[in-house]
Every structure is written in C-alpha cells, then in structure tokens.
Chain A
Amino acid sequence: MNTVRLSTLKPGESATIAALHTDEALYHRLAAMGFRIGKRIDLVRRAKFAGPLHVRIGTTDIMLRRSDAQHIDVTPAGASE
C-alpha cells in the first residue's frame, strides 16, 4: 500500500487515514475531531498562499494547518488496489 502525507492530497481527493505521527496533544485533538486510523478523509480545498487545508471526516468539516497535516499519513483512494 502506498501511503502519502495528508498535506499532499489535491482538492477533491479522498483517502484513508493510515497513521498519525503526532505528539500527544495533537493526537488527542485529532482523535476528538474524528481522525482515527481506517477512517475515510476527503480533502475539500486548500487555502491560497500555503494556508490551511479544509478536510471532511464523516459529518465534520475541519481546517488544519499544513504543518500539522504533514504528520498524518493517508492511503489515497484507488492507490491500494
């Protein structure tokens, strides 16, 4: 399976969360927002000027900075087959 960083997904792409390489504080917040391994995540849009990412997990829309998204590995939909 090919995993990539969440921060490299393009708008409209979907993926499955593969791993969270984060410290504890970030991990807690991500978990509370619904970031769990195996969950489907959609990248909705990226802000201009290297701004934050807008992602969707289930029924929740979330923004996170690219620097935080770098710690999240995902398997792009279609890459695992």
Chain B
Amino acid sequence: MKRIALLGMPNTGKSTFFNRLTGASARVGNWPGITVDLMSAKVLLGGAMVEIIDLPGVYDIHGFSDDELVVRHFIENNPIDLVLIILNTTQIERQLSLALQVKQLGLPALLLLNMADEAKKYGVTVDIKKMSQAMNMPVVLLSAKYGSGYAHAYQAISNAIQASLPIATQQVSEKLQLDDQIESTMESVLKQAVQVPTQMSENLTTRLDRVLLHPWLGLPLFFGVMYLLFQAIFILGKPLQDGVAWGLGLFRGGVLDPLLHNLPAPLPGLLLDGIYNGVGTVAAFVPIIVLFFLFMALVEDSGYLSRAAFLMDALMAKMGLDGRSFVMMLMGFGCNVPALMGTRVMRSRSLRLLTMLVIPFSLCSARLQVFVFITSALFAPKNAPLVLFSLYLFSFAAAIATALLFKKRYANNEPFILELPPYRLPTWRQIVLRGWHEVRHFLGRASKFIIAGVVMVWILTHFPQDAAPGGSDTWAGMIGHFLAPVLDPLGINQQLAIALIFGFVAKEIVIGSLAVIYGLEGSALMSTMAHQLDWVQAYSFMLFTLIYTPCLSTLATLKTESRSNAYTALALVWPLALAWLLSFAFYQGARALGY
C-alpha cells in the first residue's frame, strides 16, 4: 500500500485537512522509530487504497523539539510515497522554508496552500503556476475548513500518488544531515510568485486582542471564560452521567440480574459487581470526555488557548509550567481524566509530564462528594464551608509544591515561543470529530485497565467467600489490618482503610463502600461515623483522600498518555507519600495541641 505523510507547521489547518480527507475513520497507531501515537487512516484514492499519516505540526525538520525529532525519525524509518506539505498561505513568507526542506530531502511532494480565504482578506496573493515551477512540485490553493479548492486538491493528490515512486529511507537519512542555501532559494521563490502587503491592516484579531489581552481586564476575563466553560461542562455533564448510570442500572435490574442470578455463588457477584460495574465506571466518563473536548476544541481552535498561555505565563513560568498547564489544572477540578488527556496540546514532553503530575491534585467533583458527606456528618454547619475551602487550599498547595519540587526533573528545554494565531471560528465538524476521536482513544486504551482494577478490588473486598463483604475478614480487611501500623498514626481506622482501598477504583464509591463496611446507610451511617470518629480523624482521612493516588481511571490515563511505567509508578507513589506525610503532620500536630 502506498503511504502519504501529511506535514505542516502548527496552526495551518493540517488536522482539519486530515479529517476532511479521512473522515471519522482515522485511528491512532504506533510507528517504527518513534514513541508517540500518530493518527492515520486508510482511504481510497485514485482507485487504490492509500495510507495517510498525520505527522505532528513542526516548524522545522532540522529542529530539536520533541515533535521535530518525531517527524525526523518517522521519515527516516518509514518509506513514504508522497509528502503533502500544508502551509498557511497568509504566512507563506516564512512557512515556505518547510516545503524547501522537504524538497531538499528529495521526497516526492505536493504543496497545499491552505487558508486561501484568510490570505485573501490579508491581501496575500500567490501565483500558483510560478510557484509550482519554482518549487518543481504541484501546488494547490485551498481552504480545508470551508472546502473550497478541495476537489482540486483531491484530484492533484490522486494524480501525484499514482505517479510517485518511493524513495529509499537510507537516501533520506543521508540528506537530512545536509542543510544549505534554503534561505536564498526561499527569497527567490517568494519574489517570483508571492505578493504580501508591507503593512498589516487593522483587523478583528487585533481588536479582540486589545480587549482579551488587556493589561487589567485580560485576567478577569480569562477567569470568567474558564468559569463559564467549567460550569457548562459539568452542568451539562452531570445529567448525562446520571442518565448513563440510570440506563446501565435499568439494564442490570431488568436483564442481567434475572439472567445471571441462577449461576453458582461467586459468579453473579463477580460478573455484576465486578465486571459490569467496571464497565459502568468506564461509561460514566464518556459524556464528560465528549463535552470536555467539544469545549476544548472550541477554546483551542479559536486561538484563545494561546492567549491564556500569554496571560498566565508570568505566574506559571516560576513553577516550570505554562499557561496551558493552568487551564488543564482548572479543568481537573471537574474531572482529572479529560484534563490529563487535554495536556496533549503541549508539545514538549517534559512540560507535559510535569503538568500531568500536578493535575491529579485538583480536587475533582467525585472527591467533593466524599468531602461534602463527611463534613456534614462531622462538622457543625457553620464550619463545613470553611473545612471545604481549606481542602481546596490544600489541593492548590499540593499542586504548587509538586511542580516546584519536580520542575528540575522535568525541566522544559524547548524555547517557549508560541504563535498567537488569528481568532478563528472552528466548524462543527472539527469540534465533533475531536470529541469522537478522544472518546474512542479513552475507551480503546483505558477501559481494560479500569475493568481489571475494579474486578481486583471486588475480589479483595469479597473474598474469602465466607467473609462478610467489605468486612474485616476479607482480603481487603487483612490488608487494612496489615497497614494498621502505617495508618494508625494518621488516625485512620480499619474501616476507613478499607474505604480507601475501594476509593482507589473511583472516589464516587467511597461513601457507598462505607455504607457496605458499616452496614448502614444515609443518616444512620452519618451518626455512627460521628460517634466513632472525631473531627481530627475525619479531617485527616479527608486530607489523605484528597491527595493520595487518584482514581483508577486517572491512573489508567496517566499510563496511556505517558506510555511509561516508571512515570506511572512515580505518579502513584509520590501522591501516596505526600498524602501520608500531610495527614501525619496534621493528625499528630492536632493531637499534640490537645485536640
């Protein structure tokens, strides 16, 4: 099968073009020589199946950033029949260098000048014929977003791929070492075929920036936008999540329970409470992930995300992070999982890893449920809001401390120079495709891990068979007993220890598990806990719950996004250690003060 690689600078509409060419059929996959996922799709082009790969957006094939290395290793290790170079016509003046670099490698190429509509507005005109002669490759002017010129491009690609012969990767590899006279060639091509106005005219982007990046208004506006976004995702998401849970419960009650209850003893429990609940855990994330990426696509593709980076950079740079990390941290207060997936917009690996280490400390809505329950059980109504607020402060403090502590280890060595693209309205097609791809990615990668984890916790809390579920005779109870020397100094008793083991699956089930462990529900459970625990113990438990290992789904996402077992282990162990230290300091400190 012939292979086409799609190459271009960031913000050139490369992915939009890829989506238009491949539709929803694209999948992520692994490639020889590189360590990140690339999207690819097989499509029928000019009467034959062709494989199309979307390479990461890069400024330069010879550069040193993580993405530039990925592109270089890809073209060195995988034979390519045709390179589609996609450039933003408005910025052809500087972007043409990438096309010349490809040409220099001797790879068969086709040049797509995208955003023709925008270039027209800016007064940039290109003589296609002259450009094609000067570059010695076919050149097509198009707008991937609105589809104009697309049919022409499609035809040109079909013709080019039929005619092309693959180049041995060896030759490419050798030529990659060379780098000469691109600058002067560029000058001469531009002079022949391109006209650019000398002075940029005042436009919508400049006017919008004057407000959105205003010295004093910019930050309040940014927080306002983030607040609305956050509210929108989780207000819309909650009923959808509840709907999914309701549907799954209905299916279980109506179909699975009657069907399976005749099976021998441990099987119905394992199938329903283990595997089916695991499926339910995975499914509960789907609406949130879809919504998150619908809105993220809007923020990112509109160009506002790079403005957020501009506004927050002064503060975040001190922590070794950038403004985009801050956006993801904020989103983590809703749910950590999509926030972790969202860090993919950061192209430097170390910056991404540091951000992903920090996000799980964001007090997500699932943890909030636990804290609301416990504070209302153990604290006076007038103190409860203060307790909750203090937990939010601890959440921020843990994130900042972690960033400061690990910023050396994950030092970002890529220069922080970002383009501020013109504001653009993304199309619905772009937004919906993004949400769809992300959900499929999550389901494909994380679901096995999550279901296996849920089953494991179910077994721990239900075996040996003669023990009461969640009781102290189960394996989980034994672990709780075994951990007593470690958890007693935190004021966490054995029942709470079992709840922490449950809480590893998902924080939503902590309260439910306490109900199972104590054999009580609702207000009866509240009053029993209020009898057994004092506020120091309860606060210590909440601190531990806030900071210790994020839920299984978060861990699964950390693993699939980082693709590193060592990193995942660090992301598991460090919060555990920090949680223990903080709870220990709090509990012993409070006791020493006589509380």
Contact = CB atoms under 8 A, between A and B. Distances in A.
A58 to B, nearest CB: 5
Interface in A7-62: 24-26, 28-34, 36, 44-45, 47-52, 54, 56-62
Given A50-B314, A60-B419, A62-B420, A28 B213 contact: no
A51 B416 CA distance: 12
Contacts of A48: 215-216, 219, 314
A68 B417 contact: yes
B418 A62 contact: yes
Interface in A52-76: 52, 54, 56-65, 68
B60 interface: yes
Given A25-B415, A63-B306, A52 B313 contact: yes
Nearest to A69: B417
A63 B64 contact: no
B94 A68 contact: no
Given A54-B420, A60-B94, A49 B314 contact: yes
Contacts of A51: 310-311, 313-314
A58 B92 CA distance: 10
B93 to A, nearest CB: 5
A28 B59 CA distance: 8
Interface in B54-81: 59-60, 62-65
A63 B309 contact: yes
B97 interface: yes
A64 B144 CA distance: 29
Given A59-B90, A68-B417, A47 B200 contact: no
B63 A29 contact: yes
Contacts of B418: 62-64
Contact of B63 (A28, A62, A68): A28
A68 B213 CA distance: 21
Given A33-B59, A58-B196, A62-B418, 15 more contacts: A25-B63, A25-B65, A32-B97, A44-B209, A48-B219, A48-B314, A51-B313, A52-B310, A54-B209, A54-B420, A59-B196, A61-B419, A63-B419, A64-B417, A65-B417
Nearest 7 CB-CB pairs, A to B?
A32-B59, A51-B314, A34-B94, A49-B314, A61-B420, A28-B63, A25-B64
Interface of B: 9, 59-60, 62-65, 90-91, 93-94, 97-98, 122, 124, 183, 196, 200, 205, 209, 213, 215-216, 219, 306, 309-311, 313-315, 317, 413-422
